[in-house]
Homo-oligomer: A and B are copies of this chain.
Amino acid sequence: MTFRARPARTLLLSTAALVFGLLAAPVTAQEKPKDHADDPAAAYEPSMTTLAEIQVEIPGLKPDDPVMTQEEFQRATEIYFQRCAGCHGVLRNGATGKALTPDLTRANGFDYLKSFITYGSPAGMPNWGTSGDMTEADVDMMARYLLLEPPAPPEWGMPDMKASWKVIVAPEDRPTEKMNDLDIENLMSVTLRDAGQIALIDGGTYEIKEVIDTGYAVHISRISASGRYLFVIGRDAKVDMIDLWMEKPGVVATIKIGIEARSVETSKFEGYEDKYAIAGGYWPPQYVIMDGNTLEPLKIVSTRGNIYDEQIYHPEPRVASILSSHFKPEFIVNVKETGKILMVDYSDLKNLKTTEIEAERFLHDGGLDSTHRYFMVAANARNKIAVVDTKESKLTALIDTGGQTPHPGRGANFTHPVYGPVWATSHLGDETVALVGTDPEGHADYAWKIVDSFYALGGGSLFIKTHPNSQHLYVDATLNPDAEISASVAVFDIAKMGGDPAVDPEYTTLPIGEWAGIPDGQPRVVQPEFNKEGTEVWFSVWNAKDKESAIVVVDDKTLELKHVIKDPRLITPTGKFNVLNTQKDVY
């Protein structure tokens, strides 16, 4: 067993949110052409309510406050929400980014703020001024804005949800059997980030079957237990439910569950298949359990509360990832700022039972082990993985990964030649891959420990992936500042991982970006995803909105290029979710 702590080559960009969340402005629904007149879903107009549409009142000014007009305050609030809130929090209490409450900003002063916003910092603050993302006047305005108290965005309770909720095709008007010839299990749901859409692509023919309007920057796709319904959630907190059985798959229900959000999931426990959906909000900090057939909002639960260790109140504990338990009728809800994992029992919503597990701050994303009993989630800014026993609803372990800012996505499960079943994560902040033993019965000595840690291509990794039918482990380096690295992927041969523990396993570098053959921009390679059979791996080659992007398909056996998908509709493709693998939690 080896565990090597090495000086990390910390990245300038230390969080996916910087790129996933902030580098582009929303495209409004109006910009998108509507051409499916015979589609029942055509009546549906996605709403894009953002803070820009909500009147924010300037707080009362004190004698030493900087001068700011109502118009400036409104615009600054919107810019803050778009660019800054992801890292610093809506109420500026800090998370991945520093706290920016007026007591702190005033101590630093206007000039300091202006310079910081203009030039950024090596710790991860982007150079909004010199990058051209903000004008000099905007930077000036934002510096003044930060000296004022932050306005709290509006709440978003049941009346708001109900007002935003639309059933486009009622359950009784939906088909009773599959009405199309799609190979649903092998569909890929691909986020077209800046277009506010997803594409459904055939995993066998690589053909784009549908492009569907959704919320902005869809964060994830999830599949109902039956495999029929696809749920997506935009960063604008818009949830869309897509019926894959319809002749032309489309949105059958939609709801806006807040102002900003990241996660959606559906009930998977036996007897509750397709019964409920759940979505978690960044703002307001809450989750909502919905009817799995219509998205009717049923129960909203606030996550406001105390940080697990310091036990001081946090006004903005955001809901990060949500997963469905296979062992109980429970959703696993990860609350970022308070570091709590909530096991939410959905068997009785009127007498809602929740187990609040003290884990670690800054919970982000995670996945199940190969048996589906244990859930592993990264507490990213604390460099830890929390392990939850979903059968007992208890914390099993808290593991320091030895790396900087683990970012597993759902992680990768495989059987290591020496350590047995392991779950792997890569890191945003350095180049290491860490393996956690996940077999307390067969390999008790290795269970819930970092059994090995080794180098991949470079820092800035967002996702890691394998498949039960594959002998390869793929690691991207999407946010690496080096263009060549960010366009490549490291592939490890699992069978060869059992060598000298003092020597890192070797990896093959696949020049995915080069294979895509895109002449313009600096496309980054992100998120390996297997097809249904686990024989091919798909990579997004993600370029700027106005430039060509692509999806590159690699043969898992030979590691050779199999296909490049290019299409004018493939605008900023990021996450891809194979229906069967997502439905069955195979990763």
Contacts and interface: CB of A to CB of B under 8 A. Distances in A.
Interface of A: 59-62, 65, 149, 155, 157-159, 284, 286, 297, 299-302, 304-306, 310-313, 348, 350-358, 393-395
A149 B149 CA distance: 14
Nearest to A61: B60
Nearest to A156: B313
Given A157-B313, A312-B155, A394-B348, A305 B306 contact: no
Contacts of A357: 350-351
Given A157-B312, A157-B313, A306-B157, A353 B353 contact: yes
Nearest to A355: B353
A306 B312 contact: no
30 contacts: A59-B59, A60-B62, A60-B65, A60-B149, A61-B61, A157-B306, A158-B311, A159-B312, A284-B313, A286-B306, A286-B313, A299-B311, A300-B311, A301-B305, A302-B304, A302-B305, A302-B306, A302-B313, A304-B305, A348-B394, A350-B358, A351-B355, A351-B356, A351-B357, A351-B358, A351-B395, A352-B358, A353-B354, A353-B393, A354-B356
A395 B312 contact: no
Given A59-B60, A60-B60, A157 B351 contact: no
Contact of A304 (B159, B304, B393): B304
Q: How many copies does the complex hold?
A: 2
Question: What 3 pairs between A and B have smallest CB-CB spacing?
Answer: A60-B60, A157-B312, A158-B311
User: Among the interface residues A157, A159, A302, A357, which one has the most CB atoms of the partner chain B within 10 A?
Assistant: A302
A300 B306 contact: yes
Contacts of A352: 355-356, 358
Nearest to A160: B312
A350 B340 CA distance: 10
B311 A157 contact: yes
Contacts of A305: 301-302, 304
A60 B65 CA distance: 9
Contacts of A60: 59-62, 65, 149
A358 B350 CA distance: 6
A155 B61 contact: no
A258 to B, nearest CB: 11
A105 to B, nearest CB: 16
A284 to B, nearest CB: 7
A306 to B, nearest CB: 5
A350 B360 CA distance: 12
Contacts of A311: 157-158, 297, 299-300
A60 B61 CA distance: 5
A302 B61 CA distance: 31
A106 to B, nearest CB: 13
Given A155-B312, A350-B395, 20 more contacts: A59-B60, A60-B62, A157-B310, A157-B311, A158-B312, A159-B310, A284-B313, A299-B311, A302-B305, A302-B313, A304-B304, A348-B394, A351-B356, A351-B357, A351-B393, A351-B395, A352-B355, A353-B354, A353-B356, A354-B354
A149 B312 CA distance: 24
Contacts of A297: 311
